[in-house]
């Protein structure tokens, strides 16, 4: 065993523990950080996942790839993020390449991953790093100053890409540590307590591997449902397992119901079959993406004539037709119910209100999944003469605590 791996052993870290004996059942009292580190890193060396952003064992991680993967993995599973990561790296192999891209290109490449503010911040961050010489800073404080990099992402990059003793805490790590210590404080309040515990456990040797090991443990063994406790390297010191109710952790505060908002989209079609799209403002929800023109989204439903007053002026040739049914879509903080008003445009009309796009070319634009739902809804109602581009599937979320 190399000196790098020999620095901590169970016997040196816990002299009362004889070789081969199981770990004690009370982690705070008995299982030292050194024991937990050694057990988890040994497990990781055997069981680490092969992921496209991870270099082979013993090879230094690339900061650009580490950063790109961590941004994509926010709210997204590794399996869903992997093909997007591969396409991004193939298209923009260096941070300078991504910085030089148009934002619309980045948003279109991101289409289907959701949470589009990540893509806008990713582009802005790439430009900031490229302007500073193309090198990511190697310390958490400096990383947090970059667009789109919060405390978790900064700690992950510092640990994984630069070997800094840092303690990233994602949903998987929250779950693992909440179970290890049977944390009774419900989420989200417990996150501060768990972050302190993560910093206590973070080793000075192989901090990046340790952080990724906890992520892998949560993703493959300490799962939200039916955790595979028999395979866990921390099964003996895990307080939740010892109590026989690992699945009950982390504790959760009662969730508040999401409010419902209402909006009306305007399906405006020219004689040649093209429909009107416009770009949303850069700031705010779905910022910088393309949309069908619509009313604001508000707490009370819209009346038909009231909504029509909000339509782009001087475009519709006749009256508005209500498309039967509604489109439901859920955002992080609210549910949205959209209805649709359709109209034909004046013949050969031009407009500064947006862009005319053929239905079979919608897929070439950065449309969020809500807009593809609207296009599909209109097509099923018979108001579209051609099929819209296939709707991108939203990947499953990363397992969150």
CB of 6 within 8 A of CB of 205? no
C-alpha R_g of the chain: 25
Phi first, then psi: give them for residue 267, nearest 5 degrees. -95, 105
| Structure token pair of residue 181 | 């210590």
| Structure token pair of residue 189 | 């309040």
- Cβ contacts of residue 283 below 8 Å, gap of 6+? none
d(C-alpha 275, C-alpha 253), whole Å? 45
Cα-Cα-Cα-Cα torsion 177, 52, 77, 45, nearest 10 degrees, comes to: -30
- Cβ contacts of residue 60 below 8 Å, gap of 6+? 161
- Cβ contacts of residue 10 below 8 Å, gap of 6+? 17, 19, 34, 35, 38, 39
Catalytic residue among 38, 70, 236, 269: 70
Identify whether 70 is a catalytic site residue: yes
Nearest in space to 62 (alpha carbons), one of 208, 271, 232: 208
d(C-alpha 47, C-alpha 65), whole Å? 22
Catalytic residues: 70
């Amino acid at each position: 065993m190399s000196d790098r791996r020999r620095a901590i052993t169970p016997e040196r870290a816990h002299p009362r523990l004889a070789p081969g004996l199981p770990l004690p059942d009370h982690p705070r009292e008995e299982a030292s950080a050194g024991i937990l580190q050694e057990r988890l890193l040994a497990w990781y060396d055997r069981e680490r996942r092969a992921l496209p952003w991870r270099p082979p064992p013993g090879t230094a991680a690339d900061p650009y790839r580490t950063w790109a993967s961590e941004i994509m993995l926010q709210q997204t599973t590794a399996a869903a993020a992997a093909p997007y990561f591969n396409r991004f790296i193939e298209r923009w192999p260096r941070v300078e390449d991504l910085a030089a891209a148009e934002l619309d290109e980045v948003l279109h490449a991101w289409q289907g991953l959701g949470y589009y503010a990540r893509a806008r911040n990713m582009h802005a961050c790439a430009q900031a790093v490229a302007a500073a010489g193309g090198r990511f800073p190697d310390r958490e404080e400096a990383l947090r100053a970059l667009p789109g990099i919060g405390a978790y992402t900064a700690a992950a990059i510092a640990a994984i890409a630069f070997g800094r003793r840092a303690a990233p805490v994602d949903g998987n790590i929250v779950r693992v540590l909440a179970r290890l210590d049977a944390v009774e404080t419900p989420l989200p309040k417990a996150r501060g307590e768990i972050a302190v515990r993560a910093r206590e456990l973070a080793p000075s040797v192989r901090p990046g591997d340790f952080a990724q090991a906890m992520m892998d443990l949560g993703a493959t063994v300490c799962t939200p449902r039916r955790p595979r406790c028999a395979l866990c390297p921390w099964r003996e010191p895990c307080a939740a397992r010892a109590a026989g109710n690992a699945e009950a952790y982390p504790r959760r505060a009662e969730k508040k119901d999401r409010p419902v908002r209402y909006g009306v989209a305007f399906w405006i079609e020219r004689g040649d079959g093209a429909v009107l799209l416009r770009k949303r403002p850069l700031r705010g929800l779905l910022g910088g993406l393309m949309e069908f023109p619509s009313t604001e989204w508000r707490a009370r439903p819209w009346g038909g004539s009231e909504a029509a007053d909000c339509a782009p002026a001087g475009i519709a040739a006749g009256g508005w037709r209500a498309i039967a049914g509604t489109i439901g879509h859920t955002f992080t903080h609210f549910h949205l119910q959209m209805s649709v008003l359709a109209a034909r445009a004046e013949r050969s009309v031009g407009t500064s209100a947006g862009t005319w796009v053929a239905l079979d070319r919608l897929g070439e634009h950065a449309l969020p999944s809500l807009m593809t739902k609207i296009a599909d809804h209109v097509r099923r109602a018979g108001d579209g003469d051609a099929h819209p581009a296939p709707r991108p599937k939203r990947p499953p979320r990363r397992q969150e605590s």
